[in-house]
Amino acid sequence: MTDATLPRKTFFSGFALPLFSWGLPFHSLIVAVLFGGLGFSAAGVRAFAAWKEVMVLLLIGIVVLRAILGKGPRASVSWVDLAVGALFLIAFAFLIAGEAWLRIELPRGTELYGIRDIAFFLLLYFVGRASPEIADDPDTLRRLYIIAVLTSAIAIVEWLLVTPDTLVLLGVASYFQDFLNVSAFTAGNEYGLPMNYWTRIGNVEVQRAGSIYLSSQGFAVPFLIIFPAATAWAFGAIERRTWSIRIEYAIIWIGLLLSITRMTILVCVIQLFLVILMLRRPEWAVIGVATGMIVLLVSLLVVPGLPAFMWDTLTWQTGSSLSHSKDWSKGVEAFFRQPWGSGLGTTDQSAVRFGVEPLTADSGYFKYAVELGIQGLIAHLAIFAGIAVASFKVARYASTKYRRLLGTVVLFTTIGVMINAMTGVVFNAPVLAFLYFWLSGAIVTVAQKDPQVRQHASATTPPASLAPLAAHPLPIR
């Protein structure tokens, strides 16, 4: 297949993936307006909010049906499949027998929300395995680029014009306190909005942009996949960068910076340079460094309290830094007390929603280690390793431009997730979790089927004792 030969739209690429790509970013805002703004019943809104889970189950049903009928891409079983499947089965085993095995009592629904927050989205990996055509569709990246520009522009307008009172009127406070039942995250302000809606720089409380995600972290974390996709589109897919492209890319950066989410901003800077270097555009990396240094120096000079804020951040003296340290200590203690797992829904927001004291928070790694034990953590890390290897091969050797670009996006999203997960449970963001595993599954299939990737992979001949196995992979449909 050449770059000029684009695949026809399928149900996955033409409907399902666009639905998730557009629906997930606006999900929280729509639910908040329906429940808190318009006063619809909690039961009715919860039924509507379950659209994404229903769609995942529908897609899995279609994938299974296609396999039974012998349709869909033929691919060999990958060890990434085994890691993803193992993690899902571990979580499912805790759901079925966790309370009896661990002899714990949790509020009704805690474990259901627990498996949703820790493993349900893994099913989309297998949807991706069955829909590799999305890697050849330019709309996959173009759509994420448009979403990045749009949500960032909304964030700028929000920061300039939208007041806390307006957010309360839209139903945001009621959404967090009554619908999500996470009032613990809204303490310390008279509006009932999330605490991270503000941060202190010097002696001034500064508003942080949340865009359509309704919180600064909820807005920033999806950038772990949206930002490398936008960067790959702007620097790799578009041959001629017009002034409009430059302005749009600047809007993306301004929106992200207004979230004042330090770790995610740092990760996006790393992703920027890695994507540019992978695309072999070192001159843009130099321009980026120069521009970033100028912006940083000007900001330090004109923003009161910013130098002290950055120093406290670098020396781990901010309130969030102390919170991270406390939660990590709790995570270490909980893990060594119960190394085989403490059960679904016992950490982070899954516990908070049901009035359970979370055993740990602020770390994706501790969430898997504490809830699912060492076996869950090993499977979790194996998934990252497998996706990184497959996406690197596609980014380097795939036969078409769009495959290489999507491989680059998945590779550096994986790196970004692994870094950011040290200080946050990033898969709490459905935009990131759902899209990342869907795109990752597609890339693993491309890595197996693309002739140029296979040619480079076969350059290292397996030992003679393993050659029969390599020559006859297990077929799946």
Domain ranges of the chain: 11-453
**Contact between residue 125 and residue 58 where contact means Cβ atoms under 8 Å apart:** no
> Using 50, 70 and 90 to split pLDDT, how confident is the model at 102?
confident
| Encoded tokens for 41 | 């019943």
Provide the 8-state DSSP code for 474: P
**Contact between residue 177 and residue 158 where contact means Cβ atoms under 8 Å apart:** no
| Encoded tokens for 114 | 């627990």
pLDDT of residue 285: 62
**Furthest-apart CA pair in the chain: how many Å?**
70
The average pLDDT across 25-37 equals 95
**Contact between residue 350 and residue 372 where contact means Cβ atoms under 8 Å apart:** no
Structure-model confidence comparison of residues 150 and 235, the more confident one: 150
Go through 52-88 and write b for each residue having 16 or more CB atoms within 10 A of its CB, e for each that does not.
beebbeebeebbeeeeeeeebbebeebebbebbebbb
Structure-model confidence comparison of residues 205 and 474, the more confident one: 205
Give the amino acid at 202: G
Q: Burial level of 280, CB count in 10 A (0-12/13-18/19+)? A: exposed
What is the spatial distance between Cα 29 and Cα 103, in angstroms, rounded to a whole number? 39
| Encoded tokens for 317 | 């003296």
**Contact between residue 125 and residue 437 where contact means Cβ atoms under 8 Å apart:** yes
- What residues have CB less than 8 Å from 407, skipping those under 6 apart? 135, 391, 392, 393, 394, 395, 396, 398, 443, 446, 447
**Contact between residue 109 and residue 373 where contact means Cβ atoms under 8 Å apart:** no
**Does pTM top 0.85 for this prediction?**
yes
3-state class (DSSP) for residue 211: helix
Whether 441 has a pLDDT exceeding 90, the answer reads: yes
The per-residue pLDDT of the chain, averaged, comes to 87
Whether 462 has a pLDDT exceeding 50, the answer reads: no
The average pLDDT across 424-429 equals 92
* 405-426: pLDDT as tens digits: 999 999 999 999 999 999 889 9
Q: Burial level of 361, CB count in 10 A (0-12/13-18/19+)? A: buried
> Using 50, 70 and 90 to split pLDDT, how confident is the model at 312?
low
What is the spatial distance between Cα 252 and Cα 215, in angstroms, rounded to a whole number? 17
What is the spatial distance between Cα 365 and Cα 371, in angstroms, rounded to a whole number? 10
The average pLDDT across 431-441 equals 98
**How many Cα atoms sit within 13 Å of 285 on the Cβ side?**
13
pLDDT of residue 467: 38
pLDDT of residue 99: 75
Whose CA is closest to 404, among 222, 140, 224?
140
Using only C-alpha atoms, the chain has a radius of gyration, in whole angstroms, of: 22
The average pLDDT across 325-349 equals 89
The phi and psi torsions of 246 (rounded to 5 degrees) equal -65, -40
* 55-85: pLDDT as tens digits: 999 999 999 999 888 887 877 889 999 999 9
What is the spatial distance between Cα 373 and Cα 442, in angstroms, rounded to a whole number? 29
Structure-model confidence comparison of residues 95 and 289, the more confident one: 95
The average pLDDT across 18-47 equals 95
Whether 208 has a pLDDT exceeding 70, the answer reads: yes
Instruction: Quote the percentage of the chain above a pLDDT of 90.
Output: 58
Whose CA is closest to 425, among 223, 258, 217, 270?
217
Least confident of 53-57, 102-106, 297-301: 297-301
The average pLDDT across 366-371 equals 95
| Encoded tokens for 437 | 């595993």
pLDDT of residue 356: 86
> Using 50, 70 and 90 to split pLDDT, how confident is the model at 298?
confident
| Encoded tokens for 459 | 């350059």
Structure-model confidence comparison of residues 282 and 244, the more confident one: 244
pLDDT of residue 418: 96
Q: Compute CA distances 394 → 80, 452, 458, whole Å.
A: 15, 9, 14
Instruction: Quote the percentage of the chain above a pLDDT of 70.
Output: 87
The average pLDDT across 346-350 equals 88
Structure-model confidence comparison of residues 241 and 12, the more confident one: 12
**Contact between residue 368 and residue 394 where contact means Cβ atoms under 8 Å apart:** no
Structure-model confidence comparison of residues 54 and 285, the more confident one: 54
User: Token match 């009715």: residue?
Assistant: 44
The average pLDDT across 89-115 equals 85
Whose CA is closest to 258, among 303, 316, 307?
303
pLDDT of residue 72: 76
pLDDT of residue 61: 96
Whose CA is closest to 137, among 461, 405, 470?
405
What is the spatial distance between Cα 467 and Cα 87, in angstroms, rounded to a whole number? 29
What is the spatial distance between Cα 372 and Cα 338, in angstroms, rounded to a whole number? 10
Whose CA is closest to 12, among 139, 118, 119?
139
| Encoded tokens for 89 | 């089965």
What is the spatial distance between Cα 91 and Cα 318, in angstroms, rounded to a whole number? 35
User: Which DSSP string do the residues of 253-270 spell out, in sequence order?
Assistant: HHHHHHTT-HHHHHHHHH
Give the amino acid at 405: L
